[in-house]
Each structure stands twice: as C-alpha cells, then as structure tokens.
Amino acid sequence: MNEAEILKQAKKIMDDFVKALDKVSVSEKYGVHRDEQVRIAEKECEDSSQFRKRIFKNAPKVKDDYFVMEKKNW
C-alpha cells in the first residue's frame, strides 16, 4: 500500500466513525463541577529532608547535592 491509499482508507474510517456517532443519543450529562478548584490535602506532606535523602539515595549518579546527568545531542 502506498501513502495515498493509506490516507484515503484512514479518512473513510474516520468519516464512518463520525456518522456512527451521529446516530448515538446521550441524554445524561457527564462531568464534575467543583465549587473550589484547589484540592485540600488529606494529610500533611512528608518531611522534605527525608525526601531529599531518599531521592539522592535512589539516583544513579550524585555529586555533592546535584544529580549527574548525561547530556545528549538530538
């Protein structure tokens, strides 16, 4: 198959899908309404010093208080 045939077939599939969606009727509304847009934490965050120790312990390469990363050329 060449690119033009694939694009033509994909367009037909999309058009058929849109036609099928037009036949479906939805009477219920979906979604969530919040009076406030900010979450309230259920519990306090963990001590950041413990987090810092754990994250540096899990890092493959650390020098002083920095992660050592490899720079890639893209």
Q: Say what the pTM is.
A: 0.35
Q: Which residue's entry shows tokens 């001590």?
A: 47
Phi-psi group of 14: left, alpha or beta (phi > 0 → left; psi -120 to 50 → alpha; rest → beta): alpha
Identify the pLDDT of residue 46.
Answer: 66
| Adjacent-strand bridge partners of 63 | 66
pLDDT, tens digit (0-9, with 9 covering 90-100), for 25-43? 877 777 777 777 777 777 7
Whether 15 shows a pLDDT value over 90: the answer reads yes
Cα three-residue angle 6-12-13, rounded to 5 degrees:
90
